[in-house]
Amino acid sequence: MEQRLLAWFADHRRDLPWRRTRDPYCVLVSEVMLQQTQVPRVIPRYLEWIERWPSIQTLAAAPRHEVIRVWQGLGYNRRAVNLHRAAQIVAAEGWPANLAELPGVGAYPPAAVRRFAFGEPVLPVDTNVQRVLDRTDSAFRPEAAEALMDLGREVCLARVPRCGLCPLGEQCPSRGRRYEPLRKQSRFEGSFRQRRAETLRLVAAGRTSELDQEAVASLERDGLVEVTAGLARLPE
């Protein structure tokens, strides 16, 4: 199966900007941005980010309020704070042996950095890759990581897989079966996440009167705002 997959990938490989580098910082930025965010939305924001902060040292030296402002619109804003904190740790101490020790990176991004930046024999398994592994009931080497990601995102879709386009279709035991996604993202409209996002936008714009105080308290706990004398502002 793997040879079929790699042959397909040679013709269908997506040219993504983070695939043109082995800089662990750039790989980490891309992986954090890609969490629960579609690739087309991430590409321009990733390019803007790397142009503004081309190295982990420049990001570490940036004021946190600027990092939060630049992240606006990507969602899950605490990821920006965690990425900034991780940059400060690496800039001061170097990359840790266990990348999962970096704040807020979770389980998958460290594996991606190890594979795509450091070339370690690790297969990063995100939701798309896990779906391909489950459906094919096959094992793949780390060298097939990007191919598995593209297949999962473009062909082996969660609900209605495009089995007729799949290079593994003839051998796949799950061919023709439909699946429900493993989990559905909670509705944003009317949610507390929306209230937080709107409150942070108002704080960033300097409009701090009549704020949603529950959202302010939540943002403060995550390090996204500071409250002094009852007034909320972005952290320095």
Q: Which residue numbers are catalytic? A: 31
**Cα separations in angstroms, 124 against 42, 99, 108, 120, 147:** 19, 13, 6, 11, 12
Within 10 angstroms of residue 129's Cβ, the number of other Cβ atoms is 23
Runs of H (alpha helix) within 35-138? 39-52, 56-61, 64-71, 78-93, 108-116, 127-136
Q: What is the C-alpha to C-alpha distance for residues 121 and 143, in angstroms, rounded to an integer?
A: 8
Q: What is the C-alpha to C-alpha distance for residues 103 and 86, in angstroms, rounded to an integer?
A: 6
